[in-house]
Amino acid sequence: MSLRHPSSQQLALYAGRDLNWFDLLRVRLHLGRCYECRSRVDYHEAAIEGVQAGALDLPEGVDWPRLAAEMKANIHLGLEMSEIAGRVPRRRFDPSGESLGWRVALVGASLAVVIGSGWYLHRARDPYFLAQRPMAQATSEGIEFKAKSSALTLLAPASERVTTAEIGEGLQTRYVDQDSGQVTIQHVFTE
Amino acid sequence: MCLRNSAFLMLVALALPAQMPEIPLDARTAFRVVVPGDSPVTLVNGDWGSSKATARGGALQVDVRGVLQLKNSGTRRVRGVTLFVIAQEVTPGGKASVTVPSLDVEPGETFPIRVDLRLMRPLVAVPGAIVEVSIDGVLFDDLGFYGPNRINSRRAMTAWELEARRDRKYFLAVLDRSGPESLRREMVSTLARLSDQPRIEMQTARLGRMTNQPVGSERQMEFAFLQLPEAPVDLVSGFVRVAGSEARMPRIEVRNLSPRTIRSLEVGWLLKDDQGKQYYAGEMPAEIHLAAGEKSELVKDAVLRFSKPIAGLSAFVSNVEFADGSLWVPQRAAVLPVSPEEQRLADLYRRKGLDAVQTELRRLR
């Protein structure tokens, strides 16, 4: 098990499917073993979904012409900066060159490896497509019912001895409340 | 799409430190506690003091920190209470329960129940109560029950109460027969067993209409059965489909050995990882009509994913409910998981010492 967790940025980029293929595979491997990071990714995905849901509406009072003018100015600034930086000498692309064939083959093979690995890892991690179902999961914070981008988590104190078990339709945790000395049993249901 | 996602995430990340939009919660409307007029347990006070809602990017996070002060307004001693927690408006399908077994509340006495939970959903305004808490069941010292029993809390609390009586009787016998040092050894042994039972991470979901065909690399794994003395049910055979650290659709054939009709039963299961370590994984309850001598098959339509690879599985009869409402629980055995009462007493020993445990055992004799 990988003990090193991906950074928050990497998890956020993973949620947006914006990681490069190497990091994507590395994070996906880690997520297969780390429930905590998977929960974080879920929260990022919920955030994306929420923002996307509200993205069709412009915020109230937005000064659209001014925003457009600023964006245009930024684009011009970027172009001018690249002019100042000077032209980078480039090798001409010759589509009729002899070396094109093996390059295309190499790119194709690499893509096939990436796609194949991604498919295999996805299958290996989630053969029952748990992530797509309403489910209950035990995390370091407690037990959670999760459906799409919503979640209900019953929190258990981190410092206590907590036992978790799958009972009936859901999960159950048990701990002794240190204030009252009472055994407390929590249950989340998957339906 | 990827660029759009990145832009959204960046906007969210930039917006957070500037706004940190904590949304005020009005405890009078955000939380509702439903206690029927005829309930033997009444609400004295609901403290939702440090509860808060926070916008996190495009999601709304609601942290509920509640302590309900309840009063035994009836005439019998209360042994357990189950609260039903529903957040249907916020998390569709989200329901939960909080149970406090092993109580001993006299009539007129008050007692607290803590409800700590977190809700997460897309940032959309929700009318009405965010969380509704109601009483699902109250168990009394004569094993009488009050409540709607929507989540079958009657059977669960009765089984825990019977286990609690069994365990207290055992510890008292140890104390009377062999003295305080032997009781101390029992408490230390229980604490060790609890320590050996790490917080195993798991996920579970219903499979629904998934086919019965093997998936990917899964294989069939037979259950090993623990034979418990005087069990009214025989576990005849059983298997589960296993793929790495995931198990789905456990099936167990059972036979009623008793002369009475059974209306429900629970089969507990223990998981062995590739290091040979055994974990209590869960229970498989089943509503079943099983006449004397009859056989039936229990099938659970669920998939379970553990954080450890599954190398072996064993099962045992955890409790049996007969048609007349009486319940059977197994005798104490080292192979069985630590009961809630055992856990409570061991924790009492850890915090307050052996004298406190002796006093508690004699008080609840």
Its ipTM equals 0.88
The CATH number of the domain where B46 resides is what? 2.60.40
Question: Is-contact B10 B58, C-beta < 8 A?
Answer: no
Q: Same domain for A121 and A162?
A: no
Nearest CB neighbour to B58, from listed A46, A154, A182: A46
Nearest CB neighbour to B96, from listed A50, A53, A145: A145
DSSP string of A83-121, one letter each residue: HHH-PPP-PPP-TT-TTHHHHHHHHHHHHHHHHHHHHHH
CB contact under 8 A, A46 and B120: yes
Rounded Cα–Cα distance for residues B305 and B200 (Å): 10
- Closest CA in chain B for residue A32: B307
Q: Same domain for A142 and A113?
A: no
- Closest CA in chain A for residue B218: A127
> Which of A77, A98, A127 lies at the terminal end of a domain, its last residue?
A127
pLDDT score for B6: 45
Tell me how many domains chain A contains: 2
Rounded Cα–Cα distance for residues A111 and B45 (Å): 63
Answer whether residue B156 is part of any domain: no
DSSP B89: T
What residues form DSSP beta bridges with A144? A137, A153
Other CB atoms closer than 10 Å to residue B315's CB: what's the count?
A: 22
- pTM across the whole model: 0.73
Q: Same domain for A161 and A121?
A: no
Q: pLDDT tens string for chain A (191 positions)?
A: 445 788 888 888 888 888 888 888 888 888 877 767 776 787 677 667 666 655 555 555 556 667 777 777 777 777 777 777 665 555 555 555 555 677 778 888 888 887 777 666 655 555 555 566 778 888 778 888 888 778 888 888 866 677 778 777 788 889 999 888 999 999 988 87
Domain hosting residue B356, numbered range? 165-195+341-363
Cβ contacts below 8 Å, chain A against chain B, sum to 266
Q: Same domain for B16 and B147?
A: yes
Question: How far B205 CA sits from the closest chain A CA (Å)?
Answer: 4
> Which of B92, B123, B151 lies at the terminal end of a domain, its last residue?
B151
Q: Could you say which residues from 171 to 190 on chain A have a Cβ atom under 8 Å away from some Cβ of chain B?
A: 171-172, 174, 176-190
Q: Same domain for A53 and A14?
A: yes
CB contact under 8 A, A154 and B96: yes
Question: How far A92 CA sits from the closest chain B CA (Å)?
Answer: 29
Closest CA to B239 of B278, B297, B289: B297
pLDDT score for A12: 84
Q: Same domain for A138 and A162?
A: yes
Q: Same domain for B175 and B217?
A: no
Answer whether residue B4 is part of any domain: no
Answer whether residue B253 is part of any domain: yes
What residues form DSSP beta bridges with B71? B42, B110
Nearest CB neighbour to A162, from listed B116, B199, B243: B199
Q: Same domain for A191 and A115?
A: no
Q: Same domain for A115 and A141?
A: no
- Closest CA in chain B for residue A135: B205
Find all residues with CB under 8 Å of B80, minimum gap 6, and list them: B99, B100, B101, B102, B103, B137, B138, B139, B157, B160, B161
Tell me how many domains chain B contains: 3
Q: Same domain for B221 and B349?
A: no
Which of B61, B91, B152 to mutate to probe the A interface, most A CBs <10 Å?
A: B91
**What is the gyration radius of the CA atoms in chain B, in angstroms?**
24
> Which of B87, B121, B151 lies at the terminal end of a domain, its last residue?
B151
- Closest CA in chain A for residue B210: A128
- Closest CA in chain A for residue B55: A47
Nearest CB neighbour to B280, from listed A136, A153, A165: A165
Residue A158 forms contact with B (CB below 8 Å): no
CB contact under 8 A, B283 and A168: yes
**What is the gyration radius of the CA atoms in chain A, in angstroms?**
25
CB contact under 8 A, A35 and B8: no
Closest CA to B155 of A171, A168, A153: A168
CB contact under 8 A, A181 and B344: yes
pLDDT along chain B (365 residues), means of 10: 46 47 78 93 91 79 91 96 83 82 96 90 71 95 96 94 96 96 96 78 72 67 92 95 86 96 93 85 90 93 83 94 95 90 95 95 89
Q: Same domain for B188 and B270?
A: no
- Closest CA in chain A for residue B82: A185
- Chain B residues lying within 8 Å of A121, measured CB to CB: none
Q: Same domain for B267 and B279?
A: yes
Answer whether residue A172 is part of any domain: yes
Domain hosting residue A162, numbered range? 133-191
Residue A2 forms contact with B (CB below 8 Å): no
DSSP A132: G
Answer whether residue B208 is part of any domain: yes
Q: Same domain for B263 and B326?
A: yes
Q: Same domain for A24 and A49?
A: yes
Nearest CB neighbour to A164, from listed B111, B200, B218: B200
